[in-house]
């Protein structure tokens, strides 16, 4: 028998990771829209910070999801 409680699906174990990935996607979308607002790529300092923070949040979320997958094996 497995050591995890019944009903501990991947969605439940990795909920925080999935949530952070969703926030990262929203942030990357916002950075993309801000960078291409004028038609061409023109990113200011705020857009670069937003892009970097969103990418970092997304990487942390993916690491948490991978950890949840490994925990489920």
Element (H, E) at 35: helix 15-35
pLDDT tens for each residue of the chain, 73 residues long: 456 565 578 888 899 999 999 999 999 999 999 999 988 888 899 999 999 999 999 999 999 999 999 988 7
- Return the sign of the alpha-carbon dihedral for residues 43, 46, 19, 10: positive
Identify the pLDDT of residue 68. 92
Cα–Cα distance, 34 to 19 (Å, whole number) = 23
Buried (b) or exposed (e) across 2-28, using 16+ Cβ within 10 A?
eeeeeeeeeeebbeebbebbebbeebb
Identify the pLDDT of residue 1. 45
Identify the pLDDT of residue 5. 60
């Amino acid at each position: 028998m497995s050591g995890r409680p019944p009903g501990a699906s991947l969605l439940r174990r990795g909920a925080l990771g999935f949530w952070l990935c969703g926030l990262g996607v929203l942030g990357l979308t916002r950075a993309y829209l801000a960078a291409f607002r004028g038609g061409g790529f023109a990113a200011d300092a705020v857009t670069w910070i937003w892009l970097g923070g969103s990418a970092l949040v997304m990487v942390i979320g993916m690491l948490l999801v991978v950890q949840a997958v490994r925990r489920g094996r």
